Amino acid sequence: MEQLRVLVFSASFGNGHLRAAEAVIEGIRLKEPSAEIIHLDFGDFLNKPINTLVKSVYGEIIKHVPKLWGRFYYKTAQVQPKSMGQRLLSKLGRSNFLQYIDEFKPNFIICTYPTVSLVLAQLRNEHKLQIPIITLITDYTVHSHWVHSGVDCYIVACEEVKESLLSWGIKAQSIHVTGIPVSIKFEENLERGHILSKLGLKQDLPTFLVMGGSYGILKSAKRICQKLADSLVPVQAIIVCGKNEKLFHSLETVIAQSHNPMLRLKYVHNVEELMSVSNLIITKAGGLTVSEALTKQLPLLIYKPIPGQEEENAHFVKCNGAGLVAETEAELGQLLSHFLNNPDELEAMRQKASSTLPGHSTKRAVEHILQLASVYKTEAKNG
């Protein structure tokens, strides 16, 4: 039996593209244990100093002037796929891509980042690439940069994304609504009491999880924690600081003087456990974080979503009743107090969250991907 060879491209502009790629790889390995899978960063195929500069600039904009990013995002959201800008971007790294693909000879290629999808789709349209391209859209909205006629298969989060792609002229048979792929460990039913005991937390208190994105934890995280620490309604909090050492150390006094149990963590690898024991997550609105929370049926309180794709992700959550959005710190404080005093509303949002996504997103996505690969292989043999 011929060994399956898979090439996966993501990009380290935020953690979501990487996590979606890793989830699909995990799903393929379950179905095809002998598959040879290579996962590459799109940036490695570009000029390295320029790539480093672009990442740095993007990170600084997101941290310090997110409205500027929002203006850029919405201004370019309706740019036509055949525009001059898109044509220029389609030239990025293409010779390196072709050389690598020719050497590895994959059965198909998966992309979780729009620019690499653009480059490969253009090569596909020019008949310089003879294998299927699968694109995973990692948000609950579609920017025009994701839209390319040369893509053979789109894996998307929800019906709204499918409808948007259809409006751009993508064929219905090329679009599959599976939910954004998340690690299969988020699908597992975990025993809450055991995890709380392991974390040193109480069994009988509501648990609020505070998390930020890869481009910096929530700017107001310390003050959010202070609100939870001072709450007269009993609550316990888990604060994930990631790689933000400054935040981690700044919480020392807050925790020491807290009326309520508080657990601070650095970078973690057990988010699925933390979500399993939580009644609410206070977070940004990255596509993967939203998907993981919804998969765990965890209501979201989204704080100051970054204009652009995060804003659209937050809108999706709110419209489906699975969470609320706080645009100011005062509004956030009011909502925290409201949820603590009205736990039934959190339970109602949990019920909404449980029905928002199709479920088993990675399994569904992998089934569509492998079916496409099988059809293409058969057609290639007969053609």
Give the DSSP letter string of 163-198: HHHHHTT--GGGEEE------GGGGS---HHHHHHH
Considering the domain architecture, whether residues 209 and 165 belong to the same structural domain is answered as no
Question: Does a structural domain hold residue 299?
Answer: yes
Which tokens go with 139? 């948000």
Cβ burial of 195 (10 Å; 0-12, 13-18, 19+) is middle
Q: Examine the domain organization and report whether 307 and 370 are in the same domain.
A: no
Position 217 scores a pLDDT of 47
> What percent of the chain is predicted at pLDDT more than 90?
72
Rounded CA gap, 358 and 163, in Å?
16
Answer yes or no: do 74 and 210 share one domain.
Answer: no
Question: Nearest-CA neighbor of 90 among 114, 112, 113, 115?
Answer: 115
Do 330 and 262 lie in one domain? The reply is yes
Domain match, 209 and 250 both:
yes
- β-pairing, 153-156 vs 5-10, is unpaired
**pLDDT in the model for residue 77:** 82
Spell out where 130-285 has E strands: 133-136, 153-156, 175-177, 207-210, 236-240, 262-265, 280-283
12 and 141: one domain? Answer: yes
Residue type, 183: S
Q: Which of 50-64, 111-125, 200-214, 237-251 has the lowest mean pLDDT?
A: 50-64
Q: What is the CATH number for 18?
A: 3.40.50.2000
For residues 164 and 247, state if they share a domain: no
Q: Are residues 156 and 18 in the same domain?
A: yes
Q: Is the pLDDT of residue 43 over 50?
A: yes
Please report whether residue 308 resides in a domain.
yes
Do 174 and 207 sit in the same domain of this protein? no
pLDDT of residue 49: 67
Dig out the tokens for 87 from the structure: 């044509």
- Residue 216: pLDDT band by 50, 70, 90 thresholds? very low
Residue 341 lies in a domain: yes
Asked if residue 185 belongs to a domain, the reply is no
pLDDT band at 221 (very low <50, low <70, confident <90, very high): confident
Residue 262 falls inside a structural domain = yes
pLDDT of residue 274: 98
pLDDT tens profile 295-348 = 999 999 999 998 999 999 999 999 999 999 999 989 999 999 999 999 999 999
Res 80 pLDDT > 90: no
| Cα–Cα distance measured from residue 123 to residue 90, given in angstroms and rounded to the nearest whole number | 9
Sheet holding 280-283, edge to edge: 262-265, 236-240, 207-210, 280-283, 300-303, 323-326
Residue 277 maps to a domain: yes
On whether both 245 and 378 belong to a single domain, the answer is: no
pLDDT, residue 74, reads: 85
pLDDT of amino acid 214? 52
User: In angstroms, how far is CA 340 from the centroid of its own chain?
Assistant: 28
Q: Phi and psi at residue 205, in whole multiples of 5°?
A: -115, 145
Q: Which residue has the higher pLDDT, 314 or 57?
A: 314
Q: Which domain holds residue 120?
A: 5-179+359-382
Q: Please write the tens of the pLDDT for every residue from 180-210.
A: 999 999 999 999 999 999 999 999 999 999 9
Q: Contact, 213 vs 303, CB < 8 A?
A: no
Q: What is the mean pLDDT of residues 225-253?
A: 92
Residue 278 corresponds to which tokens in the numbers above?
């939580």
Inform me whether the pLDDT recorded for 383 exceeds 80.
no
Does residue 184 form part of some domain? no
pLDDT at 129: 92
Mean pLDDT of 45-65: 72
Give domain status of residue 67, yes or no.
Answer: yes
Q: Give pLDDT tens digits for 256-301.
A: 999 999 999 998 999 999 999 999 999 999 999 999 999 999 999 9
Whole-number pLDDT of residue 47: 63
Residue 281 β-bridge partners:
209, 300
* Global pTM value: 0.92
pLDDT at 12 over 70: yes
Residue 225 has pLDDT above 90, yes or no: yes
The pLDDT value recorded for residue 186 is: 97
Angle at CA of residue 344, ends 343 and 349, nearest 5°: 100
pLDDT at residue 20 is higher than 60: yes
Q: Name the percent of the chain in helix, strand, coil, to the closest 5.
A: 50, 15, 35
Q: What value does the mean pLDDT of the chain take? A: 90
pLDDT, greater one: 42 or 346 = 346
Residues 118 and 157 grouped into a single domain: yes
Do 344 and 371 belong together in one domain?
Answer: no
Number of independent structural domains in the chain: 2
Number of H helices, E strands in the chain: 16, 12
